[in-house]
């Protein structure tokens, strides 16, 4: 059966339907992990998930819709980890906040790194909109309660610049797969120096 768009796509509401969605998405990520994007077809996903192709099309009109759902799930999980890492009221040190962000981003990529990378590449190829809410939230949390940073004039503009500076580094860590990449520990240390050096050179410090 050829892959095509369906005009009517069911919105899952009941537990049984949500379970089928999870089966489909898990099957999709397994296929991408084992065979790359070329292995991802709606027929292969349905077979791997143990559902009929008709059932799959009730929720996903084509493989792009499956990839969009995977990308949304990846970003939701990433956002939860980052926000949880930054929402600790007892943490006031900017350097520790940087470390928490790095670890929150990278900890979910130990398994199926290839699949995560390919889904991330797909998401980025569709634009950076999925990152926008997370970046805005990180900007708000990055220096919250950091008295040293606040006294140095570390405000929204500085947070915006730094957040986007190391967002690019983190993106490269997730997508990167070249030999000779710095270790995570070295990257984390360099990002700490970037933030703390930035704070120390602000007017009034």
Minimal CA–CA distance to 171: which of 106, 108, 110?
106
Location of each CATH 1.10.10.60 domain in the chain = 15-61
Measure the CA–CA gap between 66 and 163, rounded to whole angstroms.
30
Q: Is the CB of residue 12 less than 8 Å from the CB of residue 20? A: yes
Measure the CA–CA gap between 82 and 105, rounded to whole angstroms.
7
Q: Is the pLDDT of residue 140 over 80?
A: no
Residue 48: Cβ within 10 Å count: 17
Measure the CA–CA gap between 41 and 33, rounded to whole angstroms.
13
* Average pLDDT score over residue span 146-167: 62
Mean pLDDT for the chain?
75
Phi, psi of 174 (to 5 degrees): -70, -45
Location of each CATH 1.10.357 domain in the chain = 66-200
pLDDT band at 13 (very low <50, low <70, confident <90, very high): low
Measure the CA–CA gap between 193 and 187, rounded to whole angstroms.
10
Q: Is the pLDDT of residue 203 over 60?
A: no
Q: Is the pLDDT of residue 41 over 90?
A: yes
Measure the CA–CA gap between 169 and 165, rounded to whole angstroms.
7
C-alpha atoms less than 13 angstroms from C-alpha of 172 in its C-beta half-sphere: 12
* Average pLDDT score over residue span 45-70: 95
**How many angstroms separate the first and last alpha carbons of the chain?**
66
Residue 33: Cβ within 10 Å count: 17
Write out the CATH class of domain 15-61.
Answer: mainly alpha
Domain covering 66-200, topology: Tetracycline Repressor; domain 2 (1.10.357)
Q: Is the CB of residue 28 less than 8 Å from the CB of residue 45? A: yes
- Overall pTM > 0.85: no
Could you report the per-residue pLDDT of 25-36, keeping only the tens digit for each? 999 999 999 999
Q: Is the CB of residue 3 less than 8 Å from the CB of residue 61? A: no
Q: Is the pLDDT of residue 70 over 70?
A: yes
Which pLDDT score, from 0 to 100, does residue 149 have? 47
């Amino acid at each position: 059966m050829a892959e095509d768009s369906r005009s009517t796509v069911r919105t899952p509401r009941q537990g049984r339907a949500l379970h089928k969605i999870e089966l489909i998405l898990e099957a999709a990520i397994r296929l991408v992990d084992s065979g790359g994007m070329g292995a991802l077809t709606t027929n292969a996903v349905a077979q791997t998930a143990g559902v009929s192709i008709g059932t799959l099309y009730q929720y996903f009109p084509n493989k792009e819709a499956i990839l969009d759902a995977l990308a949304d799930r990846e970003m939701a999980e990433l956002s939860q980890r980052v926000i949880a890492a930054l929402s600790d009221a007892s943490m006031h040190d900017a350097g520790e906040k940087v470390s928490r962000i790095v670890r929150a981003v990278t900890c979910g990529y130990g398994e199926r790194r290839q699949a995560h990378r390919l889904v991330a590449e797909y998401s980025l190829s569709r634009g950076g909109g999925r990152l926008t809410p997370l970046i805005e939230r990180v900007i708000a949390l990055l220096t919250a309660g950091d008295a040293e940073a606040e006294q140095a004039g570390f405000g929204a503009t500085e947070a915006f610049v730094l957040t986007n500076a190391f967002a690019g580094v983190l993106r490269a860590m997730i997508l990167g797969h070249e030999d000779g990449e710095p270790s995570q520990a070295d990257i984390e240390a360099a990002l700490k120096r970037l933030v703390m050096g930035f704070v120390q050179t602000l007017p009034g410090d």
